[in-house]
Amino acid sequence: MNDILPGEIETWQFLEVEARRIFGTYGFSEIRVPLVEKTELFCRSIGETTDIVEKEMYTFNDKSDNSLTLRPEGTAPVIRSFIQNKLHTKDPVAKLYYMGPMFRYERPQKGRYRQFHQIGAEVIGIEDPKIDAQVLTMLAHYFDAVGIKDVELQLNSLGCPECRPAYREALIGFLEARLNALCDDCRRRYRTNPLRVLDCKVPGCKEATIEAPSVLDHLCVGCDEHFNKVQGYLRNVGTPFTINARMVRGLDYYTKTTFEMVTNSLGSQNAVAAGGRYDGLIKDLGGPPLPGIGFAMGVERLVLMKGQGCVEPNRPDLFLAALGDEAACYAFGLMSSLQRRGLHAEMEYEGKSLKAQLRRADKLQARRVLIIGGDELARREAQLRTMESSSQETISLNGIEEFLLAGLTPAP
Ligand code: HAM
């Protein structure tokens, strides 16, 4: 779990502001849900045999002995809220986005933390493959807009309750014949969660499953048609993608389209964003039988890719340096008034030497410095130094506020 400090936070804020801006143009509204939910919600949605539910949840009993869990992801809480607040009665389509911390007790490493942050989006109520293509295009648009390159959008389809069971059986049959080549973990879970074996990083398991049956060869007519249409719409709007038939997801609620935005630049944590369709989840959680699709991006991974410190820190527009008590008092008044009027102004509060004050201005990377001396104050004059051009001029203190503010906002 990490602190996010000044100097780092600017990149986070940039990523958040861009998400709000871009998701807004696609018609999404923000939703904020609690960090804590009933444990049962995650067991029922993510799945009892997933790593998240089996090993990674921060679960505790509250004083009334309810089992609660710090949310390991955002989809289940958003759907819980959608159902509980009967949002479908107000609008048959919900386009929602969220951002905030998630918690998983995983082994920490680069790009993988126990408290991490997601920016996610969910669309509820649209079955048509156009929305799959729209969500994926929005995701690709976001990566373009924030300047993160070197990512690839990989697509797969995991079928539906109609065609998945036959695929599962085919896969279990294939794995059964190769049990000796699989690792202990996969031997244990190949019956309960055979798809996870395709995702195992152990070289022996990778090799043993090279020829495993492909989910895409087992799709029913409806799923196959849906998947083809998604690809058609993506081509239509020019959103690049590749197919990865071995992509499985670590959560059980997915149906049909699944996807990951992957990169080679983060070592083994290669998914910067991931998601898919979950057409059965809303009904399974006690809501109306509505389809859903969404994704979540890992903000720490976005920050690692973007590079910390890539966004300029908050630099003062003006630093006021004053010589003597009277000038310091005047500078303090001027600074306060300018701050109220929207100018980022700073001063050295403790009346140090001019040299120390200028050092402070330098450290804060102030754009301009106003030097006010005692004699000059009597003449209603001061020196304005512009750091970029290293120029200095004498200016009148009469009308100084307007002068400084005008310098800030160029005329349209
Ligand atoms: P997920 O694949 O578990 O999906 O997580 C989505 C993204 O969150 C990952 O691709 C990764 O970037 C980031 N992430 C996950 N775990 C960690 C971690 N321990 N440390 C840092 N980053 C992490 C979901 O959570 C689904 N709710 C996505 C979704 C939304 N599906 C449909 N709608």
Same domain, 61 and 128: yes
Q: Which of 311, 272, 366, 304 is nearest to 13 (CA)?
A: 311
pLDDT tens for 326-371 read: 999 999 999 999 999 999 999 999 989 999 999 999 999 999 999 9
Q: Reply yes or no on whether the pLDDT at 308 is more than 70.
A: no
Whether 275 maps to a domain, the answer reads: yes
CB 205 within 8 A of CB 182: yes
Whether 23 lines ligand 1, by a CB cut-off of 6 Å, is no
Helix count (H) and strand count (E) of the chain? 16, 16
Whether 116 lines ligand 1, by a CB cut-off of 6 Å, is yes
* Count of CB atoms situated within 10 Å of the CB of 189: 20
Whether 113 lines ligand 1, by a CB cut-off of 6 Å, is yes
C-alpha–C-alpha distance, residues 128 and 45, integer Å: 23
Domain termination residue (choose one: 246, 281, 306): 306
Same domain, 302 and 328: no
Q: Which atom of ligand 1 is nearest to the CA of 295?
A: 30
Q: Which of 70, 132, 301, 304 to mutate to test the pocket of ligand 1 (most atoms within 8 A of CB)?
A: 301
Q: How many domains does the chain have?
A: 2
Residue nearest to atom 2 of ligand 1 (CA): 274
Name the helix (H) or strand (E) containing 101: strand 94-103
Return the SS3 of 116: strand
Domain termination residue (choose one: 277, 306, 335): 306
Whether 199 maps to a domain, the answer reads: no
Q: How many residues does the chain have?
A: 412
Q: Which atom of ligand 1 is nearest to the CA of 72?
A: 25
* Rg of the chain in Å (alpha carbons): 28
Tokens of 347: 């001063």
Tokens of 359: 């050092």
Q: Which domain holds residue 225?
A: 9-163+219-306
pLDDT tens for 132-182 read: 999 999 999 999 999 999 999 999 999 999 999 999 999 999 999 999 999
Domain termination residue (choose one: 273, 306, 339): 306
pTM: 0.92
Residue nearest to atom 14 of ligand 1 (CA): 298
Whether 153 lines ligand 1, by a CB cut-off of 6 Å, is no
**Which of 12-26, 126-140, 174-188 has the least mean pLDDT?**
174-188
User: What CATH number is given to the structural domain containing 355?
Assistant: 3.40.50.800
pLDDT tens for 244-279 read: 999 998 899 999 999 999 998 888 778 999 999 999
Same domain, 367 and 244: no
Whether 287 lines ligand 1, by a CB cut-off of 6 Å, is no
Whether 45 lines ligand 1, by a CB cut-off of 6 Å, is no
Q: Which atom of ligand 1 is nearest to the CA of 277?
A: 32
Whether 73 lines ligand 1, by a CB cut-off of 6 Å, is yes
Q: In sequence order, what are the residues at sequence separation of 6 or more whose Cβ sits closer than 8 angstroms to the Cβ of residue 67?
A: 38, 39, 40, 59, 60, 61
